[in-house]
Copies of this chain bind each other. A is one copy, B any other.
Amino acid sequence: MTLKLHNFFRSSTSTRLRAALNLKGLEYDYIPYALRKGETRTPGYLAKNPQGLVPSLEREDGTVLTQSLAIIEWLDETHPEPALLPTDADGRARVRALAYMLACEIHPLNNLRVLFRLGDQFGADDAAQKEWFTHWVTLTFDAFETALTDSTGTGTFCHGDAPGLADICLYAQVWNNKRFDIPTENWPTIARIFTELDKLPAFQKAAPPNQPDAV
């Protein structure tokens, strides 16, 4: 099976999916889309993904999976090793909650189309966009740091000593933060875990600067 990954190097949802595919040891064809050029708004791509968003994962039979977290759950169900979620229900609830803190409370507010909208509707310039972006990162990273330090579940990574779904979301978000030079050192546990993740080939290979369309 050759998977086709429709994605963009800087998109943090794409970074998540690349990390998951790499952890699972799955090969994929890398198909880049320049978001600023509207390449995800063509009829051809909209037929694959009616939201016109990246990433999408196209299977050999032509079926297309969308929404990074849904695709990662699918990968974990169809390719169980190594597991991206714990085996116990409480552990799974904790890891998903950590993942959704990032995926539902930071990323949706800070992606490119939202920053464009702030410009269009409110005339937000780069400085105002940075203020907006930093506000949402800070609010949730403060709580995320507390959730990590307050729990005995935290290990080398967000949950125990193997990387999983929460780490995938964290790694992508920290990379995204670099766009506005947000220093990860403000959150020592997050910074420590990012450093550990960045040592792993599966994550390094998923990092934005290491993609073929990186500029």
Contact = CB atoms under 8 A, between A and B. Distances in A.
B109 A96 contact: no
Q: How many copies does the complex hold?
A: 2
Nearest to A105: B108
Contact of A124 (B73, B107, B122): B122
A103 interface: yes
Contact of A96 (B53, B69, B99): B69
A192 interface: no
A117 to B, nearest CB: 7
Given A92-B77, A109-B108, A122-B122, A69 B100 contact: yes
Interface in A106-143: 107-109, 114, 117-118, 121-122, 124, 128, 131-132, 135, 140, 142-143
A100 B63 CA distance: 19
Interface string A139-152: 01011001100100
A114 B118 CA distance: 12
A89 B122 CA distance: 42
Contact of A50 (B50, B96, B124, B147): B147
Contact of A73 (B52, B93, B114): B93
B121 A131 contact: yes
21 contacts: A50-B142, A50-B143, A50-B146, A50-B147, A51-B101, A51-B105, A51-B140, A53-B105, A63-B90, A70-B93, A70-B96, A70-B100, A73-B93, A78-B89, A104-B104, A108-B108, A109-B109, A117-B132, A121-B135, A122-B122, A122-B124
Given A70-B99, A77-B89, A77-B92, 9 more contacts: A63-B90, A70-B96, A70-B97, A73-B92, A74-B93, A74-B96, A117-B132, A118-B122, A122-B128
